[in-house]
Every structure is written in C-alpha cells, then in structure tokens.
Structure 1
Amino acid sequence: MQVTIENHIAHIQLNRPDALNSMIPEFWSELPAVVQKIDDEAEARVIVISALGKHFSAGMDLSVFASIAKSFQGEPARRAEQFRRLVLELQASFSALEHIRIPVLVAMQGGVIGGAVDMVSAADCRYCTKDSFFTIKETELGMTADVGTLQRLPHLISQGLVRELAYTGRNLHSDEALACGLVNQVFEDQASMLSAVMAIAENIAANSPMAVSGCKEMLNYSRDHSVSDSLTYMATWQSGMFQMPDIQEAMAAGKEQRVPKFTNLHKKNTGL
C-alpha cells in the first residue's frame, strides 16, 4: 500500500490493481501497523483509504485461505485454539481503524467484496462510486464472515437487510447502499469521489483534533453502551478534556474571519 501525508491528511492507497487489491498475508499486518504509525506520529488528523484500479478490493487473497488450510492438522483442541488466535489477529487488523484517535474515511469503487466489507464497516465514513457493489462473499464460499462484517453492519444498516445480505451473498449496489445508509454519498466516478472525500477530510482536519478525537471516542463508546453509561462517560471525559485554548482559538478565528490554527495531538510517548 502507498501512504502519503499532506495538509494533515493521510492517504492510504491499496495498490495491487492487477490482483483486484486482494488482501495477501502481508496486508493483515501492514494495515494496522500503518494506521497505528500515523496515529502515533500525530501529524495527520484524518485518514482517507482508497484503491487503485477498477475494484476497491476482492477481499482476502486465496493465498491466505491456502495457508489456513495447511494449518488444519494435528490434535483437534490445539488446532482449534490456534485457529481462534488467528481469527482474533485478523479481526484486530480492522479494529485498528476504530481504535486510533483520528477518523477514517473510505472511498470505494467497483467491487467491495468479502474481507473488504469487513474493513470498510470499521471505518467512520464510507463513500462510493456509482458502479460500486458490496458482497458478503464468505457465505458463497461455505463459511461465515468472521472479521467484523456481522458485528458492525447491524449498527450501520437494518438487521433485516444485514441478514438478507449475509444469508444470500447477493450484491448490494450503490443506490441501495445509499438508501440504507451504508454510504454517505455516491459519485459518478473515482476522480470526483476522491476530490469530494478529500474536501471532507480537509474540513475535518481544519477542526480541533482534540474535539474530533473526542467525537470519535464518544460515538464508538455510545454504540456499544447504554445511553446512561455513555452520558456518564461523556461527563468524565469532559472533566479532563474540556480546556480553553482550542475554544479560545476557534472563537478568535471566527471573530477575525480567519482559519483557526490548532496544535496537533501529542505524538506517542516513546520514552517508556
């Protein structure tokens, strides 16, 4: 994958178009390492993920399945325990998109298949082109999707639709994806999509990174907890994070009709 950072926006591009950007074994360790490094260095305030070629991603590469198949040997309990750890590691690759402090926007074209659905479900916002389609392909392959689709999609679209897509493995096309709320916007082509998504990223990057980080933390927490618990957590968070410098800068910039200038979040402390 290719990574660039400019104007506080990190752009990650999947760059194996001839192989439909399928997710080879190296991908599963590279993606979480890349996003964690971006977060640790704190130069970027938002991440945009896109892909080169006709399709966003065909999902897990066949080489991964072949490697898994070879491991199915030996004593059943130990084999099962090993496979469980593998699935947890694969899940963690996409959970990294949720765990970092900054928002992740995904710009998709063509096929978003299998593991790619798992990945984009973990992003903050999704955008696609008119020719895009989404497929929970695992069902047609004789397995249950296991890297996040079935856990995250029910928080994004209706239970009934998730179940239909999972049980049938049918394609969800861009117009239906927009109508059900899976994607924020649909664009005619990849160029117009990337231009628009980068503009959204610029708007995010212009805001206080402390405030945006707090929004992500609270939204993720409230998804997984009750309203009462989420309000209590919000009050506790705010008791430490509500400070005046960013607020004063935002107010001053508005009064002076200029773009506010905010300090980046701190880099990861490497002295421990």
Structure 2
Amino acid sequence: MTYTTFTYAVSDHIAHIELCRPEALNTMTRAFWDELPAAFAEIDSNPEIRAVVISSTGRHFTAGLDLNWAGGTEALAHPDLGRARERLRRHVKHMQETFNAVDRCRVPVIAAVHGGCVGGGVDFITACDIRVASKDAFFTIQEVNIAIVADVGTLQRIPYLLPQGLVRELAYTGRRWPAAEALRFGFVNSLHETREDAIAAAFAMAREIASKSPLAIAGIKQVLNAGRDLTIDQGLEYVAVWNAAMLQGEDMRKAILAQMRKETASFDNLAA
C-alpha cells in the first residue's frame, strides 16, 4: 500500500514509519487516521518484522490533529440530533482504533521525538512501548486549550507512565513540558542532542530487541499489556499459562546454548 502522510520501509527486521508532511507540521489529517492502522496491519502480517521505529521530519514531530479537517463537521451532521451524536461517537471510536493498532502491535514500537509533540502526538507516543527524544523536544496535552477532553488515548495510557498529580496538572493546564522534565519522570527513556541522534538511538534499541527471540518479545509485550487490566494474581496466572503454552519451541534451547558458548543466537521469525 502507498501511504501519503508517512513513509514506510522495512530493513533488517525493523519497520520504520516516518511522518512526512513537515510543511504542515505533520498534522493528522483524515488520511493519517486511515493510513496508520493499515500500516500496522501490514506490520503485524509481516513475520520478518521484530521492532518498529516511529520518527518524523521538519521542525516538529507533530502539531497534532489537523484542525481544519476536524472543524469540518458537515460530514457528521444529521437532522436528528441523536443520530448525529451516534455518528460522532463512531467517528471518535475510529480515531481511537488508529492508536489502539499501535498499542496492540505484536512487536515493540519505539518513538523518536523531536521538536513539538502536541495533542494527538501525545496520544500517538503514549501508545508506543518506548520513547526517546532530542533535547529540543516538548510535549503538550493540547486538547484542554481548545476546550475538549482528550479522547483518543492520552488520558487512558499516560497514568501508567507518569505520576497521577503530574498527569492531572498537564491535562488541566495544557502547559508545554520540556524533554528534560519528561526524562526526569521517566516518560522518555533517553535524551539526545539532535533529531538524528534520537533516531539513531531508537534504531540501536530496535536492533537489540530484534536480536532476541521474537516469540519471547511478543510474549513480554502481551503479558505487560494484559497486566494493565489485571490484578497481580490474574497477571501471574496469565503469564503462567502463556509460558506453559509457548515454551515448546527451539528459542529457549538456542538462547541458553548461545549464552553458554558466548555466541549470538539466531532465531526464526514469528509465523505470518
């Protein structure tokens, strides 16, 4: 599939999605909301891929939702108010599914952020597994500044990434919070001098992940994601069942043998 809002490439078991509308500050148009889940469906169906890197171009990672498109409500209008509201709900759910596709991706997703990451950009990167940033990066939960409640994932995911008091401050005020503060609270894993350095760090991490057993990595992500909705006892039961089912292949034997011999193991891809 050809994408218009980002480029897509796969090399050495790593998929790279790079937002490519710098002249429009990589705002999220109707095409973006349709194309991103299609790209992640392509990733999930490709057994060669073991990690994903998300990056961007231009001055900013993204300025978030394209307000010109979002403001065009005529397509959602209906003479009956109830039907209009039901249509709007389905519209929001469609947008939510765009970032759910990132969250559910069976391989880890790493975001390399530079410049501004505003509004929908925060929704996007909170759905990723790992975030790295350049020193000029900043983040804004922008929705309150346009008098709406963030509704495509930030408020649901960011409480797992930041302290509750800070989450509420950022959501209530819509203030800009810089990369250094994001690092201090663990929202980003590392800071780098430039955009290029951040992308290089993301790829280095992706290569390290890609060198591990893809079956183990998929299991780790699945268990961590499931654990957000489970008690500790339920999470322990889940991982016990997962390992009882999945530890039947060659990966563990290969990994242990490689460790003993101080070699690098080579693992088969996941099934398509």
| TM-score of the alignment, normalized to the shorter chain, above 0.5 | yes
**AA of the residue aligned to 1:182:** F
Q: Percent of counterpart pairs with the same letter?
A: 43
Q: Report the secondary structure of 1:105's partner residue.
A: strand
Write the deviation string for residues 21-77 of structure 1: whole angstroms up to 9, x where unpaired: 101101001001101111111111000000011100001112331333552442111
Change (3 A) 1:69 1:179: farther
The aligned counterpart of 1:270 is none
Aligned to 2:126: 121
Separation in structure 1 between the aligned mates of residue 250 and residue 264 of structure 2, nearest angstrom: 15
**CA distance in structure 2 between the aligned counterparts of 1:70 and 1:35, rounded to whole angstroms:** 27
* Secondary structure of the corresponding residue to residue 224 of structure 1: coil
Correspondence list, 1:176-187, <5 A = 176-187=181-192
Q: Corresponding residue for 2:114?
A: 109
SS in 2 for 1:134: strand
The answer for the alignment partner of 2:161 in structure 1 is 156
How far apart are the structure 1 equivalents of 2:76 and 2:209? 44
- Decide which of 34, 37, 58 is 1:53's aligned counterpart: 58
- Counterpart of 2:243 (choices 235, 238, 243) is 238
* Matched pairs, number: 267
Of 34, 37, 48, the match for 2:39? 34
Instruction: Tell me, yes or no, if the aligned pair for 1:25 and 1:63 is still in contact at 8 Å.
Output: no
Equivalent residue runs for 1:15-34 within 5 Å: 15-34=20-39
Task: Give the superposition deviation at 1:169.
Answer: 0.6
1:20 shift after superposition: 0.5
Give distance in 2, aligned partners of 1:91 and 1:108. 21
SS at match of 1:41: coil
Q: Deviations over 1:140-172 (max 9, x none)?
A: 111111000111111110111111111111001
Q: Distance in 2 between matches of 1:192 and 1:172?
A: 21
- Structure 2 CA distance for aligned equivalents of residues 214 and 106 of structure 1: 21
1:186-243 alpha-carbon deviations (Å, 9 max, x no partner) = 1111111111111110000000000000000000011121101111111111111012
- Corresponding position of 1:200: 205
CA contact (8 A) 1:135 1:172 kept: yes
- Supply the distance in 1 between the matched residues of 2:206 and 2:138 (Cα, whole angstroms): 23
Q: What letter matches 2:248 in structure 1? A: Q
Match for 1:261 among 248, 255, 266? 266
Q: CA deviation at 1:244?
A: 4.3
Cα deviation 1:244-268 (Å, max 9, x = unaligned): 410111122233333211000011x
CA RMSD of aligned residues (A): 1.1
TM-score for both structures, normalised by structure 2: 0.95
Does 1:130 find its partner at 2:135? yes
Aligned to 1:81: 86
Structure 2 residue 130 is the aligned partner of structure 1 residue 142: no
Check whether the contact 1:5–1:44 (CA below 8 A) recurs between aligned residues: yes
1:226 paired residue number: 231
Q: Secondary structure at the match of 1:42?
A: coil
TM-score when normalising by structure 1: 0.95
> Which residue pairs with 2:3 in the alignment?
none
2:56 maps to 1:65: no
Following the alignment from structure 2 to structure 1, what is the Cα–Cα distance between the partners of residues 145 and 199?
31
Q: Distance between the aligned counterparts of 1:185 and 1:235, measured in 2? A: 32
Segments of 5+ residues of structure 1 without an aligned counterpart are: 268-272
How far apart are the structure 2 equivalents of 1:114 and 1:266? 36
> In 1, Cα distance between the equivalents of 2:217 and 2:70?
38
Q: Which amino acid aligns with 2:241?
A: T
Once residues 12 and 76 of structure 1 are traced to their aligned partners in structure 2, the CA distance between those partners, rounded to angstroms, is 39
Aligned partner letter, 1:10: A
CA pair 242-133 structure 1, distance change in 2 beyond 3 A: same
